[in-house]
Amino acid sequence: MSMRGRGEDILPRPPQGGEGRGEGGPGTKSRNPRVSLERARELRQRSTDSERRLWYWLRNRQIDGVKFRRQVPLGKYVVDFLAADHRLVVEIDGGQHASQQAYDRRRTAWLEAEGYRVIRFWSNEVLANTEGVILEISAALKLRPPHPNPLTSLP
29 confidence band (pLDDT: 50, 70, 90) = very low
> Looking at the domain assignment, is residue 21 inside a domain?
no
Cβ atoms within 10 Å of 149's Cβ, excluding its own: 6
Pairing of strands 69-74, 117-122: unpaired
Residue 152: the pLDDT is 56
Q: What CATH number corresponds to the domain at position 59?
A: 3.40.960.10
The per-residue pLDDT for 36 is 64
> If pLDDT is split at 50, 70 and 90, which confidence band does 39 have?
low
* Least reliable range by pLDDT among 28-32, 121-125, 146-150: 28-32
Given a contact cutoff of 8 angstroms between Cβ atoms, the answer to whether 78 and 23 are in contact is yes
Its domain, for residue 56, covers 33-143
> Is residue 8 assigned to a domain?
no
Q: Is residue 121 part of a domain?
A: yes
Number of domains in the chain: 1
State the Cα–Cα distance between residues 67 and 42, nearest whole angstrom: 21
pLDDT in tens, 76-113: 888 999 999 999 999 998 876 566 788 888 989 999 99
Tell whether 150 is covered by a domain.
no
